[in-house]
Structure 1
């Protein structure tokens, strides 16, 4: 019935997929069901179905920093990699859906000539995962640019301001509280495209050398 309802709501899914194909360490056995929602409404529907059929679930992005068991996962995996739109808001702010990779976000900022996220250009994973753990590198952290975060929990869609995110070293509000990060609003600065590109290339070179 769970699968039938997914089909009814036209939510993309796969059955019996190997987690090793969805983790950067390329490890992990079979996952019973993996869902690929493309909108907030589809994510909400996934949670409702999991609750309705009493199914455990876990949220996955690009699968970086994930140690997936060879025994697999006998529940639902909500894969957010198709939930990845980006747009520029007024002035120096961008809104990014949580499944967007940091590389794509940095490339988008480069095109928009908005500086502040260059430090993240070589970090694997999605912006949602980066906010979750306050990822950082080369002197920068997500807390330096995040203005607010929109997320979903059992009670609906909510918003956290920067001060409410409880950022610290590799820690955020979501390290202790349940919730699916939906959108991240970042406040950046107007930058010089050539200088930004040079810095990003330099950071990528330094990362590969290590």
Structure 2
């Protein structure tokens, strides 16, 4: 048995003591936890029930020198066919509390953006309409400053409560998070978002619903929602649109195995059924090379790669 296996074995028992036997799985297929429906097994898959358990799980991983990855909805993620050697800390099943105080709404990191926007709508609070169709979590939205249809997380985020690299928990105002296009201090400094507070404004629920319905209709018309994907595959290059560049390069429908550039929206690489991570990588690299060759623009993936 290698030193790494020994640490993992010890950690396995420690994690079970923290979160309970039923909340730790071994060799968990990551294809069941990503919107791409792709990914090999993770050594350990852990579901903490509350903020204290999250902190204890991460502290244990660090003490045993075992790599860990904090997972939300797995909506922006491509996991290797070989899986992940380490611990997946899954927040979307445990950290799902929401509280409201006037026009402020606080959501734990595992709450989905769809749930948050629906709840805000029912309460007559406007500001999260843009998020109604983003298939991610509140934690993920703060990590990458998620946005759509002219709105983004930075517009309404008041503060986050985060686990810091030193193990402390701090409340950080949004203006100290360096939020920009698909970037944040959360991402750069390795913070773990535990909850986020949004500053919303009162409005007629019917007007809010109408805006959400409009966004949903536009999304359904233009995006390949019927197929598994990780959303927009590439970041928007300055001065261009990734989808248009890919279309102009003649790459709509380009396919390797069961991974393909969507014929409906070229900005999406989709899983036609049984795509491997290797298939998706091959499509992404070919698209990058062709767009670079034809237009001199190097597309940068928005999708994160794990394992």
**TM-score above 0.5:** yes
Counterpart of 1:170 (choices 161, 182, 186) is: 182
- The whole-number CA distance in structure 1 between the counterparts of 2:173 and 2:19 is 33
Partner of 2:82: 71
- The whole-number CA distance in structure 2 between the counterparts of 1:18 and 1:63 is 13
Q: CA deviation at 1:47?
A: 1.1
Counterpart of 1:195 (choices 195, 198, 207) is: 207
Checking the alignment, whether the CA contact within 8 Å between 2:29 and 2:41 is kept in structure 1 is: yes
Q: CA deviation at 1:135?
A: 0.9
Q: Is 1:95 aligned to 2:120, yes or no?
A: no
Partner of 2:132: 121
Partner of 1:49: 60
Q: Is 1:2 aligned to 2:11, yes or no?
A: yes
Q: Which whole-Å deviations, capped at 9, do the CAs of 1:184-208 have from their partners, x for residues lacking one?
A: 0000000111111111111111001
Q: Is 1:27 aligned to 2:38, yes or no?
A: yes
Q: CA deviation at 1:10?
A: 3.5
**Which protein is bigger by CA-based radius of gyration?**
2
Q: Which whole-Å deviations, capped at 9, do the CAs of 1:82-110 have from their partners, x for residues lacking one?
A: 21111102x10011101110000011101
Higher strand residue share: 1
- The whole-number CA distance in structure 2 between the counterparts of 1:42 and 1:171 is 27
Q: CA deviation at 1:8?
A: 2.1
Aligned length: 209
Q: Which whole-Å deviations, capped at 9, do the CAs of 1:64-122 have from their partners, x for residues lacking one?
A: 11010001101000000121111102x10011101110000011101211001001100
Counterpart of 2:172 (choices 160, 184, 193) is: 160
Partner of 1:13: 24
Counterpart of 1:204 (choices 203, 216, 232) is: 216
The TM-score normalised by the length of structure 1 is 0.96
Q: Which consecutive residues of structure 2, in runs of 5 or more, have no partner in the other structure?
A: 1-9, 223-307
Q: How does 1:107-118 map to 2 (within 5 A)?
A: 107-118=118-129
The TM-score normalised by the length of structure 2 is 0.66
- The whole-number CA distance in structure 1 between the counterparts of 2:192 and 2:138 is 12
SS of residue matched to 1:99: coil
SS of residue matched to 1:16: strand
Checking the alignment, whether the CA contact within 8 Å between 2:47 and 2:89 is kept in structure 1 is: yes
Q: Which consecutive residues of structure 1, in runs of 5 or more, have no partner in the other structure?
A: none
4+ aligned runs moved over 3 Å, structure 1: none
